[in-house]
Amino acid sequence: MSVRIPVPNPAVPRWVTWLCDRDPDLAATRRAGRTAIVMPALFALCSQVFHSPTMASFAAFGSFSMLLLVDFSGPMVERLRAQTGLALAWGVLICVGTLVARVTWLAVVTTLLVGFAVLFCGVVSSLLAGSTTALLLAFVLPVTAPVPLSQLPERLAGAGLAAAAALPAVCLLWPRPVADPLSAPAAQVCRSAATHLRTDASGLGGQGPVPDAAQRRAAADRTADTSAELRRAFDTTPYRPTGLSTTSRALVRLVDELTWLSTILADRPAYTDRPPACDPAARTVRLVAADVLDHAADLLTGMRGDAGPLRAAMAELRTTMRGMERSSTVRLPADHPVGAGAADVYGFIATLDLSFRAQELGFAVLQIAGNVELAATAWQRPWLDRLLGREPGVLTAPLALARERAAAHLGPRSVWLHNSLRGAVGLGIAVLLADLTGVQHSFWVLLGTLSVLRSNALNTGQNALRAVLGTVVGSFIGTGLLHLIGHHGTALWFLLPLAILVAGIAPAAISFTAGQAAFTVTLVVLFNIGHSPDWHIVLFRVQDIALGCAVSIVVALFFWPRGAAAAVHRALAEAYTDSAHYLVDAVHYALGLSDPSDPGASVGDPLQRNRQAAASARRLDDAFRTYLAERGAKPVSLADMTTLVTGVAALRLAADAVLSLWRGVGPAHANAARTGADRAVVGTASRVMEWYCRFAASLGRQAPIPDPVPLLPKAASQLVESVRTDLVDGRGQATATAVRVIWTNDHVDVARRLQPGLAAAAQGSAAH
């Protein structure tokens, strides 16, 4: 659900139009409005009725944390579970912080451990990543304010009241729409791709009207535009828009798969000007695949719908693809002579070109549909299965994925590991300095450290200046308000909701500096309620935030002076290297040259390579997100960087397609081994892999960008000759193995044809 006003409307106040433009979907306004209602009410209840300043502080900041700093997505039941989990975590962290606060060294060490654990756990899901600041606030409040243990019950009571108020507030006060941020754009890509497939299929094999060039171009442009919109929706989210739930994980996988599908639809072979005759089954595969995509789009727009039509369409697509594989053996002219020229050789291979593209498209669509079906089935699970994290039809450990993601980021090149270490050390230093200097309200030193700490020293310094500037401006405003109010402290109660509302909206609608100013005003009002208005409180706020900014700059200089761009290039290099090795190992396995169960195999296990490539891709994704979230001008074109990132997914999915092509064939695929066909395909795959490895080195600025691998007529001639002599039956007819070998070579050629675009993007990146 989007709350956008596309054109000026005289009936709508100008400030509403401005707010809708600055705060799309009014997400920040919704959070701020809830908090402005609940936080003052709880503060009044605890301070005026229960007469407990401790309860009042923890109730106020607890509601601030649980309503303004987080906004969980998904079905209402899942949101309430997430809010309950956040409340329980608050209770645990308050206890830990209170217990260690009175011993400085213990407080510092515990802050290091807790800070790292909270920050690093965000790598598992957006549920944890989006809760990071809220969780740290629960620890920062008690650890920076040592008190006797006798006050612990009051602290817990205040946080408990905040949690109890947050649950109905989330349900009743302007609840967030129940929609995954990726569902709608993913459904649009499915529908536009279905239209594209039908347009391409029209006229093939002499069937149906032949669309003109404008129609084809319009269909292609629509697919490209919706795919780019989906990618933007994914990439511009600071944290991965998914949780540990099966539904969310499946939707995230759709991003890479739909991007790959759009790349396939846009790709065309370069070695022939005249398209070959079309196997009627290739046209049918395209039409059935379009139907599958339409059913997938229907489920994406209504997760509670019936998945039966999608399953039936998938079964029909599989059957049609198997039929195309059989009919392709008849169309392959293995018993006809082939000339020695490149045109004749590539003409022979091109006989299966449209069939191969149909097979490639069919595989991509089945991958997409399988993830959509899994997402919908998981969405419809009973509540108990959701609670236990059980995937539909699979008995898996609920925390298996969490362990896998965490393990993938424990390497020295992980951006998330760097950020977690920097944040933890920064908070530890801030706790030490706050204790040694004895500043008042010292927990704002830690929050100041966390709020301005960014991925490089330059941006941290810029944010520090903005933070101090915002604090100074807010201090002047707060001082002026206190001066105007004088001794009429009751007026502060009326100002508090307004101050909270502005503080919640300003960072999103105006700027980071404006948010800091509004937040300072909120604190001035909050800490003066119930007392004679005292403008001196603003001086403590400036002192605290300045100290926190200084800590963040020192930590950033020490841990990461180069910024996220360098980390993205390192992650790209690693991802391309792992994905290229995965492709070669998949080809070796396909041609019977390796056996994953054989410990003495000379090449790697493609399944193990698949896991390595997936882990590298996850690290790249997190590095790229950090790069996008980094403030300031980007040193590399966003278009070039996005091309490089999506190229990794295309390379990895090409390897997946090779494995899928040969999966279930059994020992028959060994017939391809020890022939000229295996030497030709493996040789081409090895050259493609070597290019990607050299390309990866160039991304790390260790080597020049290599020239793309050209077409290799000699290898193609060797492949054709082997297919015609070694992979035929007794009647001289091509076998299914011959077709799969040619299609395997085509998948490798897809990876080769990606190279010019990637090289151009890398050159554009290097130019910056």
For the stretch 151-180, pLDDT in tens is 999 999 999 999 999 999 998 888 877 666
pLDDT in tens, 11-67: 567 777 777 777 767 888 889 999 999 999 999 999 989 999 999 999 999 999 899
CA distances from residue 738 to 223, 493, 662 in whole angstroms, order as listed: 33, 80, 12
Exposure string of 653-687, with b = 16+ CB inside 10 Å and e = fewer, is bbbbbbbbbbeeeeeebebbbebbbbbbbbebbee
Note whether residue 399 is domain-resident: no
What would the pLDDT profile of 693-745 be if each residue is shown by its tens digit? 999 988 866 678 899 988 777 776 766 666 666 666 656 666 777 778 878 88
Calculate ∠ Cα 54-60-61, nearest 5°: 95
Give the residues across from 734 on adjacent strands: 728
Domain of residue 380, CATH code: 1.20.58
Q: Are residues 16 and 91 in the same domain?
A: yes
> Under DSSP, is residue 705 helix (H, G, I), strand (E, B) or coil?
coil
| 461 and 593 co-located in one domain | no
Say if 403 falls within a structural domain.
no
Would you say residue 215 lies in a domain? yes
What is the average per-residue pLDDT within 554-570? 65
Total domain count, the chain: 4
Give the span between the Cα atoms of 625 and 255, in whole angstroms: 14
Cα separation of the two ends of the chain: 38
Two structure tokens written together for 190: 């499915």
pLDDT, residue 178, reads 66
Backbone angles phi, psi at 593, to 5 degrees: -95, 0
CA dist 582 and 628 (Å) reads 28
Which of 407, 747, 551 has its CA nearest to residue 115? Answer: 551
DSSP letter string, 82-132: HHHHHHHHHHHHHHHHHHHTTSHHHHHHHHHHHHHHHHHHTTT-HHHHTTH
Torsions phi, psi of 690, nearest 5? -60, -35
Give a yes or no: residue 400 inside a domain: no
Instruction: Tell me, yes or no, whether 365 and 439 share the same domain.
Output: no
Rg (CA), the chain: 30
Residues 702, 705, 711, 712, Cα dihedral to 10°: -30
Confidence at 4, pLDDT banded by 50, 70, 90: very low
Distance separating alpha carbons of residues 137 and 93, to the nearest angstrom:
9
Full domain range(s) for residue 200: 183-390
- Report pLDDT for 604: 55
Neighbouring C-beta atoms of residue 303, cutoff 10 Å = 21
CA dist., res. 204 & res. 292, Å (int): 20
Residues 535, 623: one domain?
no
Whether residues 208 and 351 fall in one domain: yes
Average pLDDT of the chain is 77
Q: pLDDT for 131-153, tens place per residue?
A: 888 898 899 889 888 889 999 99
Which of residues 561, 585, 605 is at a domain's end?
A: 561
Q: Look at residues 622, 631, 630 and name the one whose alpha carbon lies nearest to residue 122.
A: 622
Q: What is the pLDDT of residue 608?
A: 84
Residues 338 and 418 in one domain: no
* 705 and 587 share one domain: yes
Of 561, 594, 625, which residue is a domain's last?
561
Q: Would you state the structure tokens that stand for residue 473, as one six-digit string?
A: 């401006």
pLDDT for residue 463: 64
pLDDT at 114: 94
Question: Both tokens of residue 389?
Answer: 């994290």
Report the predicted TM-score, pTM, of the whole model to 2 decimal places. 0.69
Q: Do the domain assignments include residue 397?
A: no
pLDDT digits (tens, 9 = 90+) for 349-403: 656 667 778 888 888 899 899 888 888 887 776 544 554 445 555 544 555 656 7
Residue at 398 is within a domain: no
Whether 402 maps to a domain, the answer reads no
Same domain, residue pair 229 and 371 = yes
Q: Please tell me whether residues 240 and 147 are part of one structural domain.
A: no
Residues 700 and 629 occupy one common structural domain: yes
Domain boundary among 178, 204, 220: 178
Residue 605 sits in the same domain as residue 477: no
Is 762 within the bounds of a domain? Answer: yes
**545 and 580: one domain?**
no
**pLDDT recorded at residue 632:** 52
Rounded Cα distance between 578 and 581, Å, is 5
